[in-house]
């Protein structure tokens, strides 16, 4: 595995690549995209397995996360300042497209995303499709549903709808976000979150704690957190799925506490691009890390060159 430090718009992006192993012929490129608060290291149990099957594997830290730079956030309505960025799904999708052009190079590409990485993958696929070079397919693992987005405000209880303007004004404040971030980025709090995200408790180890906590100590970590929690009007998976003409496959932990599997089943019944949904009983929000022995065989089946075509929705179980 080779560490990459790619410079994108003047910012350092942390990534890794792993070529096909065991003398296997190159089966094409796959780019793995992590979720909120994570990094390429969250694919620690998948990279070797995929490369051993002949895939050319890339994994990248989105700007603001992991080992990538964490520039100052610029929210809507704020004056532009040197080096600041507007965090969001368009920025991250452009990062993926440019990484594909500059680092991965021409040829078939498949995108795999967990949580917000799933929305990033869908948005990048939209851009690539618009350019006439769509990825072979997108694989979503517990894709973020973004229930607090303003476009879904009507689905929230009346009190939450009424208090939304106050919430939006409050989380813009750097002093408040800084205190909240320090409160959340503590080992005991992260362990509590992981107990929800990994209901089986599998693979909740010191390495996982380190990969989540270490980036929180970087200068700028509070700024990227501020940018993310202010994404009240950004891309939603359903609107992206509705516009894609390429295969999408979904893998879901049935016990995900934040992204209900019922919504995934609804997507599978509505959007023609979704070829398959596999539900994993007892697993949570990050099944690729919680149960790689179950997830990796599914990914390998899907990511082979013959997997992208296929029938319309098949839901298992």
Query: Would you state the pLDDT for residue 8?
Result: 98
Long-range contacts (CB closer than 8 Å, 24 or more residues apart) made by 128-131: 128/97, 128/100, 129/243, 129/244, 129/245, 129/246, 131/97
Q: By percentage, how much of the chain surpasses pLDDT 70?
A: 90
State pLDDT tens for residues 30-58. Answer: 999 999 999 999 999 999 999 999 999 99
CB 127 within 8 A of CB 94: yes
State pLDDT tens for residues 142-184. Answer: 999 986 666 766 676 777 766 666 776 777 888 888 999 999 9
Residue 315 clears pLDDT 90, i.e. is over it: no
Work out the average pLDDT over 12-33. 90
Confidence of residue 312 (pLDDT cuts 50, 70, 90): very low
Angle between the 174-184 and 187-197 helix axes, to the nearest 10 degrees?
A: 70
d(CA 176, CA 161): 21
> How far from the centroid of its chain's Cα atoms is residue 228's Cα?
13
Query: Would you state the pLDDT for residue 172?
Result: 82
pTM over 0.75: yes
Tell me the CATH number at 156: 3.40.50.1820
Per-residue 3-state assignment (H helix, E strand, C coil) for the chain: CEEEEEEECCEEEEEEEECCCCCCCCCCEEEEECCCCCCHHHHCCCHHHHHHCCCEEEEECCCCCCCCCCCCECCCCCCCCCCCECCCHHHHHHHHHHHHHHHHCCCCEEEEEECHHHHHHHHHHHHHHHCCCCCCEEEEECCCCCCCCHHHHHHCCHHHHHHHHHHHHHCCCHHHHHHHHHHHCCHHHHHHHHHHHCCCCCCCCHHHHHHHHHHHHCCCHHHHHHHHHCCCCCCCHHHHHHCCCCCEEEEEECCCCCCCHHHHHHHHHHCCCEEEEEEECCCCCCHHHHCHHHHHHHHHHHHCCCCCCCCCCCEEC
Query: Based on the structure, what is the number of domains in the chain?
Result: 1
State pLDDT tens for residues 197-248. Answer: 999 999 999 999 999 999 999 989 999 999 998 887 889 999 999 999 999 9
Confidence of residue 310 (pLDDT cuts 50, 70, 90): very low
37 is in which domain, residue-wise?
2-316
pLDDT, mean over the chain: 91
Greater confidence, 112 or 153? 112
């Amino acid at each position: 595995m080779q560490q990459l430090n790619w410079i994108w718009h003047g910012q350092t992006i942390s990534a890794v690549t792993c070529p096909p192993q065991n003398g296997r012929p190159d089966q094409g490129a796959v780019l793995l995209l992590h979720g909120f608060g994570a990094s390429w290291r969250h694919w620690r149990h998948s990279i070797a397995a995929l490369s051993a099957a002949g895939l050319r594997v890339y994994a990248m830290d989105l700007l603001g996360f992991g080992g990538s730079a964490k520039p100052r956030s610029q929210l809507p309505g704020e004056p532009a300042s040197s080096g600041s960025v507007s965090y969001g799904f368009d920025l991250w999708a452009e990062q993926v497209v440019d990484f594909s052009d500059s680092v991965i190079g021409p040829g078939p590409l498949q995108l795999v995303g967990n949580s917000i990485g799933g929305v990033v993958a869908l948005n990048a696929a939209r851009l690539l499709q618009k350019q006439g070079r769509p990825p072979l397919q997108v694989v979503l693992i517990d894709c973020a549903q973004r229930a607090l987005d303003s476009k879904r405000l009507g689905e929230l209880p009346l009190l939450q709808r009424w208090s939304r303007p106050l919430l939006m004004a409050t989380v813009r404040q750097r002093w408040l976000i800084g205190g909240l971030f320090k409160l959340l980025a503590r080992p005991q709090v992260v362990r509590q979150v992981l107990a929800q995200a990994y209901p089986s408790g599998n693979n909740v180890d010191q390495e996982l704690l380190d990969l989540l906590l270490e980036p929180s100590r970087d200068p700028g970590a509070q700024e990227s957190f501020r940018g993310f929690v202010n994404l009240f009007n950004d891309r939603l998976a359903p609107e992206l799925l509705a516009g894609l003409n390429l295969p999408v496959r979904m893998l879901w932990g049935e016990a995900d506490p934040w992204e209900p599997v019922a919504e995934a089943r609804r997507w599978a019944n509505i959007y023609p691009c979704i070829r398959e949904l596999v539900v994993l009983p007892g697993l949570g929000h990050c099944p690729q890390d919680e149960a790689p022995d179950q997830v990796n065989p599914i990914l390998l089946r899907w990511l082979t060159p013959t997997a992208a075509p296929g029938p319309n929705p098949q839901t298992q179980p």
